[in-house]
Amino acid sequence: MKRAIFKLGTEALVESLNDTGFSVEFTAEWMSTEGWNDLPIRELPDGKLSTSGTSITVMELNEEVKAAFSSNGWIDEFKKIVAQHYSIILSKGFSVFVGKTLEEAQPITPEPFLLLQTSEVSGGRIAPYIYKGQIEGVDVEIYAGLYRELLTAEEADREEETRGTTDDAGWTVACNDRVVIWKDKTRLTGWGEANVPNYHGQFIAITGIVLLRSDDPSKLPLTTTKRGIDAASNVYSESKDLMREATKSLTSFTNKWKKFPEKLETIYKASEYVDLPKLRAIAAETPLTAMRKQPSVSKYEPQYPIPTEEKTHVVVRFEAPKADVAFLGETYFGEGESVKPGDVGREAFDRAIKDARSSKK
């Protein structure tokens, strides 16, 4: 707290009330000295705080802090970071309000973590992968799956062009409920290594969360700043093995269905979103199987649906001049450029195969 106050300004007042109350004042003179001698603790006057808690007021803000607090862009980014990195804590009832005054301050809404779940269709169902156990004294929970529909081939190309900057795919990692990795899609969370493909637009629907907890914080794979993950730690290395296993299975699912995205519509119609509390409830009720490689961890691996056309269909894909596609769109549908290229190609293929079969009769 002292370090935070020092970065914000030159004067501060801390007031706290539980059964009894106290106050501590940080003065500009004390902040400017090298020694930082012990500060006096004074008794808090009756009625100074209306409820139990702690109030920290920082006066005489530093110039760079004044500039940041006066920037709407900085404030929006701050809200976004709090909503992401404190999402689990906020969802448990902790509140953060931001505003120019206490009266104007609005609470920050936590970013949710959601996965899709469906009933059984086509011999399988969309459900979360679950891993639960302990690694070197650290409790581990992992949930992975899909949070949205898969992209069509054309949508995947467009997503790849924009580098997927606006999606919610990727891995989130939290240590004692504090998020230290948010929606990562790099090697840090297993993408692009150990037979797991690099992330690209086709995998936009895949997401996962890792929850690491220990009463002894020193066992958690945190960096010295407590704001990043120690990728070299054994706890995280073994957790990442599980993450890669889930990612590989989910990418395999998208590879099978990318040729038939329209066939998934009937499956998605019966889907529901499952949040983190419900995922934990599911994990408590679902029989988990112990893993051979990691006996201290058990898992649930859902049986995802398999497209019946997987072995009988192929993808036909090519580029064509826009003018020609628009011409066929006008010829077939009377709408020209407003028709999707995929619809034009499908219609052209259907007509071509119909004509070819008719000519052989």
More confident residue, 302 or 340: 302
Beta bridge partner(s), residue 130: 143, 300
Phi, psi of 350 (to 5 degrees): -60, -40
Average pLDDT over residues 5-16: 91
Identify the pLDDT of residue 162: 47
pLDDT band at 68 (very low <50, low <70, confident <90, very high): very high
pLDDT at 189: 96
Q: What is the pLDDT of residues 272-295, one digit of tens each?
A: 899 999 999 999 999 999 998 899
For residue 137, give the 3-state DSSP assignment. coil
Residue 246: which of 127, 119, 350 has the closest Cα?
Answer: 127
Q: Which of 122, 97, 116, 87 is nearest to 211 (CA)?
A: 87
Check residues 136 and 337 and name the one with the higher pLDDT: 136
Task: Evaluate if residue 244 carries a pLDDT over 80.
Answer: yes
**Percentage above 90 pLDDT, the chain:** 53
Out of 133-142, 200-209, 262-271, give the one with best mean pLDDT. 133-142
**What is the predicted pLDDT for the residue at 150?**
67
The answer to whether 189 and 171 are in contact (CB under 8 A) is yes
Question: Over 50: is that where the pLDDT of 153 sits?
Answer: yes
Query: In the predicted model, what is the mean pLDDT of the chain?
Result: 87
**Integer CA distances (angstroms), 140 to 221, 280, 285, in order:** 12, 12, 17
pLDDT band at 156; cut points 50, 70, 90: low
Specify the pLDDT at position 165. 45
In this prediction, residues 5-33 reach a mean pLDDT of: 90
301, burial (CB in 10 Å: exposed 0-12, middle 13-18, buried 19+): middle
Provide the CA 176 distance to its chain's centre, in angstroms: 17
| Two structure tokens written together for 193 | 């290594």
Question: Any idea what the Cα angle at residue 314 is, between residues 269 and 304, rounded to 5°?
Answer: 40
Least confident of 14-18, 67-71, 309-313: 309-313
Instruction: State which fold the 114-300 domain adopts.
Output: Ribosomal Protein S5; domain 2 (3.30.230)
Of residues 268 and 72, more confidently modeled: 72
pLDDT of residue 309: 61
More confident residue, 200 or 87: 87
What is the C-alpha to C-alpha distance for residues 131 and 242, in angstroms, rounded to an integer?
Answer: 8
Residues sharing a CB contact under 8 Å with residue 54, sequence separation 6 or more, in sequence order: 14, 15, 16, 17
pLDDT at 29: 87
Residue limits of CATH 3.30.565.10 in the chain: 2-107
β pairing state of 106-107 and 9-17: unpaired
| pLDDT recorded at residue 358 | 84
Residues of the chain with CATH 3.30.230: 114-300
Structure tokens at 106: 């609005």
**pLDDT confidence bin for 159, thresholds 50/70/90:** low
User: What's the CA gap between 77 and 97, in Å, rounded?
Assistant: 14
From CA 82, how far away is CA 110, in angstroms rounded? 8
Strands (E), 138-253: 138-146, 170-175, 178-184, 206-213
Do 212 and 220 touch, CB atoms closer than 8 A? Answer: yes
CATH number of 2-107: 3.30.565.10
